Chains A and B, each alone.
Chain A
Amino acid sequence: MRFVDEYRDGAIARRLLDEIRGMVTRDWTIMEVCGGQTHTLVRSGIDELLPPQIRLVHGPGCPVCVTPVALIDEAIAIAKRPECILTSFGDMLRVPGSSEDLHMARAAGGDVRVVYSPLDAVEIARRNPGRTVVFFAVGFETTAPANASAVKLAHDTGVENFALLVAHVLVPPAMMAILVSPGNRVQGFLAPGHVCAVQGFTEYEPIARDFGTPIVVTGFEPIDLLEGIRMVVAQLEEGRAEVENQYVRAVTREGNVPARRVVAEVFEVCDRAWRGIGVIEKSGFRLTETYRHHDAEVRFPREGAPASESEVCIAGEVLRGRARPHDCPAFGERCTPEHPLGAPMVSNEGACAAYFLAGRSRAEVST
């Protein structure tokens, strides 16, 4: 299959690995920001093939993982309202809230529907004029254009019973938060290719310059990741700190201009809480004044007890690249994809799930 097979080619992978081995002279810690990249790395075993000097740490780029438990509780509360239909992408359904998840809310009678596009949720709203249809808008810049378009469509066509529960977060503020946090070990980034396909990469240029940190916009196939790693290592070894683009088949410096336009019209930047990390200034989106009446949190103000979290899992450390999944005492034992203690064990993009599914055990990998 074109655009897939050539990016999974064993011979090209071996050549890139040889090049990386040939240029590395000392230890480097590189963070792949996006959870999709983490999954490819461990699924294909790239982390095991790299020379020992290169340590990969996993970033916060799993939208499901960083969505605060309070918002999940809010989604569950909305799902349980008889006048509401809660729509969501599938992987949010298993993320544990304070006391239950959306699967359980559905089993208990809540109307929870999995959709593949927020536009489908608008269509459900159109067909159910007597009920409010809420789409759980989780994600980074990548999903923002589709969600913005859905709100705009509902607004422009008078679908008043459509609302968005917004949990949008942004990558560059999170990268800066990681770089300035005490004990940071990250020396270079593989920036998320899909986010940059929308946003371009001009926002990353001041980060690379101000922090002296190489950033390579990287794709999601094994060859993409190996090439991205090689480009970061080359910068580190040569003492450069620039933004480079490995993912040229999808990303331009300016990004997707029409997509950015609709996002800028519908959303504005606000402070956001990140699960396991805390509030980061100017790190997310909310609806602009014109569209705010489509905001589910405005229509259904939060009530009830504040969200409760246990003290068991180390998701925050994992999401900041300070610990790896198998460093957690609960990993693979008390915490598994069937019984997740934390969101990174749930999502397809979660680092803990990636490690678990790739069969990394605590005893086997801990060093």
Chain B
Amino acid sequence: MNGGSVLDDGFALRCPVPLPLGAQVLLGHGSGGKLTAQLIRELFVPVFGGDELARLGDAAVVEANGVRLAFTTDAFVVKPMFFPGSDIGALAVYGTVNDLAVMGAEPLFLSAAFIVEEGLPLEQLGAVVGSMAEACERSGVKLVTGDTKVVERGSADGLFVTTSGVGVVPDGVDVGPERCRPGDRVIVSGPVGSHGVAVMSRRAGISFETEVASDSAPLTPLVRAMLAAGEIHCLRDATRGGLASVLNELAEASGIVFTVSESAVPVLGPVRAACEMLGLDPLYVANEGVCVAVVADKDAETVLAAARAEPLGAEAEIVGEVTEGRAAVRLRTGLGTMRPLLMLAGDQLPRIC
């Protein structure tokens, strides 16, 4: 018999000391999960201050001359630049448009800044810009100002794009996590995880038999239809960090409990298969055309029907509900047990948007 002699009780059983935290920025700080939240809360918010920033919504809503403006900015570093269903250019437009849309705003104007690496084929830059123009048209927004910088080879990975956008919030529209109430229902507007898996499928070493396309699309028409159909308390764009991260942000901001049923969350078959294979949880994988709506119970079915009447919302589902209690997200598993759905600690997939 081998091995028996070494496991005496005197053997030192030890693990390493905790590492000093925060000497350098780690990739996980950009994951959209817990580390990102910590960086924002501890480094950015205290420095800039202000109620608008501290609200940490998808966009800030500010008032100017009696008009409520939604204003947001977003940087795009997705790798690779082109992936099934979309590219960095369209993503940069839809990402910002969607951040405005989920504040209930009508997106109007965008700016764009391009950080280009020396040596990038002009043809690729042209393709990205062409795709942006198309996305602007589809979203009904105008790109009205921009900036270009070129950095030496090796200082950027091809192309990084930053967009900012403004929109007007119509009178009578008021959405925000503070309006979530126990009894509300949670609607997810479409199948989750497609964007993250589409980008991932183009990374080195991974290919699938069925091509998964990014869901990148403007949410504006869908949001408009849902807002018109009933009392919506809050909307969120389920991008980086996926559905689970959005629900955690909502639970924290509203201070109540969100419960979702695992089996109710729509996930496309090939996305599920890819996630199983890669060991990813689709609830944490990024989307670029999916929103989460927290809706008054009485209007849940009407809003769901309105969402389903829109092309982007055809597979919308009611996935859960809001209840009393201390801020938390809980998941009802297929076996009927409950477990918390936590915020992701580090990065599940870096550079996904």
Contacts and interface: CB of A to CB of B under 8 A. Distances in A.
Say whether A and B bind each other: yes
A343 B16 CA distance: 8
A280 B3 contact: yes
B9 A116 contact: no
B342 interface: yes
A145 interface: no
A23 interface: no
B334 A8 contact: yes
B17 A359 contact: no
Nearest to A101: B19
Contacts of B28: 103
Contact of A49 (B26, B204, B279, B337): B337
B333 interface: yes
B277 to A, nearest CB: 10
Contacts of B5: 281
Interface residues of B, number: 47
Contacts of A309: 12, 14-17
Interface stretch (A136-144, A190-198, A235-243, A333-341): A333-341
A351 interface: no
The residue among A49, A106, A278 with the most chain B CB atoms within 10 A of its own CB is A278
B3 A176 contact: yes
A337 to B, nearest CB: 4
Interface of A: 1, 4, 8-10, 13, 42-46, 48-49, 69, 94, 96-101, 103-104, 106-108, 115-117, 120, 173-174, 176-178, 180-183, 210, 222, 275-283, 308-317, 320, 334-343, 348, 357-359
A308 B14 CA distance: 9
Contact of B35 (A69, A178, A275, A338): A338
A69 B16 contact: yes
A103 B26 contact: yes
Contacts of B17: 96, 308-310, 312, 341
10 contacts: A1-B273, A4-B272, A116-B206, A177-B4, A180-B4, A182-B9, A310-B18, A338-B34, A338-B346, A339-B18
B7 A315 contact: no
A342 B15 contact: yes
Interface in B321-342: 333-340, 342
Given A10-B334, A107-B25, A277-B7, A316 B14 contact: yes
Contact of B340 (A9, A107, A359): A359
Contacts of A42: 339
B16 A43 contact: no
Nearest to A73: B16
A336 B4 CA distance: 32
A179 B26 CA distance: 42
What DSSP secondary structure best describes chain B's contact surface?
A: loop
Contact of A358 (B4, B23, B339): B339
Most buried by A among B279, B335, B339, B340: B335
A30 B298 CA distance: 49
Give the one of B1, B14, B25, B336 with max A CB within 10 A: B14
B3 A283 contact: yes
B48 interface: no
A348 B205 contact: no
Contacts of A43: 333, 339
B339 A45 contact: yes
Contact of B14 (A45, A176, A313, A358): A313
A45 B13 contact: no
Nearest to B350: A114
A183 B19 contact: no
Given A98-B16, A278-B7, A308-B16, 5 more contacts: A104-B26, A178-B7, A277-B13, A282-B3, A313-B14
B279 A348 contact: yes
A319 B251 CA distance: 35
Contact of A177 (B7, B27, B269): B7
Contacts of A10: 334-336
A316 B9 CA distance: 11
Interface string B26-48: 11100000110000000000000
Cβ-closest 5 pairs across A and B? A45-B337, A316-B13, A342-B15, A359-B340, A313-B15
A65 B80 CA distance: 33
A255 to B, nearest CB: 21
Contacts of A99: 19
A279 B334 CA distance: 41
B209 interface: no
Given A45-B335, A115-B205, A359-B342, A341 B16 contact: yes
B335 A343 contact: no
A10 B336 CA distance: 7
Given A104-B19, A104-B24, A182-B8, A281 B3 contact: yes
Nearest to A334: B18
A174 B3 contact: yes
A308 B19 CA distance: 12
B14 A311 contact: yes
Contacts of B16: 69, 96-98, 308-310, 341-342
Contact of A173 (B2, B11, B23): B2
A308 to B, nearest CB: 7
Contacts of B334: 8-10, 44, 222
Given A96-B19, A108-B24, A341-B15, A180 B1 contact: yes
Nearest to B279: A348
A282 B12 CA distance: 21
A278 B11 contact: yes
Contacts of A340: 18
A98 B186 CA distance: 45
B54 interface: no
B144 interface: no
A149 B268 CA distance: 34
B272 A1 contact: yes
B331 to A, nearest CB: 9
Contacts of A343: 15
B1 A315 contact: no
Contacts of A335: 18
B122 interface: no
